[in-house]
Amino acid sequence: MQGQSPGRTSATFAYLAMLFLLLPLAAVVPVSFTGRRFLSMPEGDWSLRHYQALATSPEWLGSIGTSFTIAVACAIVSTILATLFSLGIWYRRPGLTPVLVGFVLLPMAVPPIISALVLYFFATSIDLYDTVPGVVIAHVVVAVPYAVVTILVALTQVDRRIELAARNLGASIWQTTFLVLLPNIKLGIASAAFLSFILSWEEIAVTLFVTSFEIITLPRRIWSGLRDNIDPVIAAVSVFLIAITVTAIVIRMIVQARQGRAGGGQT
């Protein structure tokens, strides 16, 4: 690699770019500890009052609960649908594969505003507007392409001969699926579920269109807070969410490192 190892000047710029990426996240942290009622940097008056407000607010806790329920449901539904679909394609290998996969990935390529409008139309036309099932279906549509990609990638690592062997030994399609294939792609399935959970937990564009008063997810509450009056409680919520995300990334990296050392794992 010595042909192109980067120089010192460009390394400085790269670190400045990192700083740019992390700056807005770092800025949130001190603000969440301000002792005042409005958005400000703490000047000696550090306080946990906004964390306390968060922990005792039925609205915020309710939204966290709503978001969590919806995200779990979305993760379960999209993982099951994506796994079935990907396995079906893998078993059958129909000539229609490019069309089917392309169609299933469509919501990933369509701009968020259009998906939001489409799902609004869907939710209102079958009376699921502003209901939990409506939000779950809308989130599944948004998240499922990512789950499909993840599982299809995991399936490319599986040796086709094990499926043939299982078939020759007389295994039914269910035995092949549950005893042979699912154990082989369990990491891919876990990644797909994780991805769907996060996508739903953070979804805002579509959620704004399919909910109004009844279902207020956490992102939706943050959105209203940012537009009306900016309460430092939002900073406390943000720090809470940043902490969860950073923990998840670190755990994922550790797991991947272990897999890598064990050999043969996917990255």
Partner 1 sequence: MSKRRIIEWCVFIAPLPLLLVAAYLLPLLGIFRWSFTSPTPGFGNYTQIFTDPAIHGILLRSLRICLVVTVISVMLAYLIAYHWVFGPPWRQRIIEICVLIPFWISVLIRAFGWLIILRPRGLMNEWLMSAGLIGEPLALVRNEVGVVIGMVHFMVPFAIFPLVAVMRQIDPRVMAAARGLGAGPIRRFFEVFLPLSMPGVVGAFFIVFIFALGFFITPAILGGGRVVMIAEYVFLQMSQTANWGLGAALSVVLLIFVSIMMWVLLKVIRVERLVR
- Give the chain's radius of gyration (CA, Å): 23
Work out how close the CB of 69 gets to partner 1 at its nearest, in angstroms, rounded to a whole number: 18
d(CA 67, CA 200): 8
Tokens of 179: 């005893």
Residue 114 or 165 with smaller CB distance to partner 1: 114
Token pair for 246: 């950073």
Reported in sequence order, the residue ranges of the chain that DSSP labels E, i.e. its strands, are none
- Least gap, CB of 52 to partner 1 (angstroms): 20
Give the span between the Cα atoms of 254 and 267, in whole angstroms. Answer: 12
Pull the structure tokens for residue 117: 């409008």
Which residues in the 131-190 window bind partner 1 by CB under 8 A? 137-138, 140-141, 144, 148, 173
- Which among 111, 118, 115, 108 is positioned nearest to 152, based on CA atoms? 108
Residue 168: CB minimum distance to partner 1, A: 13
Task: Report in angstroms how near the CB of residue 261 gets to partner 1 at its nearest.
Answer: 16
Residue 10 as a binder of partner 1 (CB under 8 A): the answer is yes
Site string for partner 1, 48-87 (x = CB under 8 A): ---------------------------------xx-xx-x
Closer to partner 1 by CB, 14 or 48: give it. 14
Residue (72 or 118) nearer to partner 1, CB: 118
Distance (Å, rounded) from C-alpha 228 to C-alpha 146? 33
- Residue 87 CA to residue 132 CA, distance in Å, equals 29
Specify the stretch interacting with partner 1 by CB under 8 A; choose among 12-20, 45-53, 178-186, 258-266: 12-20
Of 72 and 205, the one with the shorter C-beta distance to partner 1 is: 205
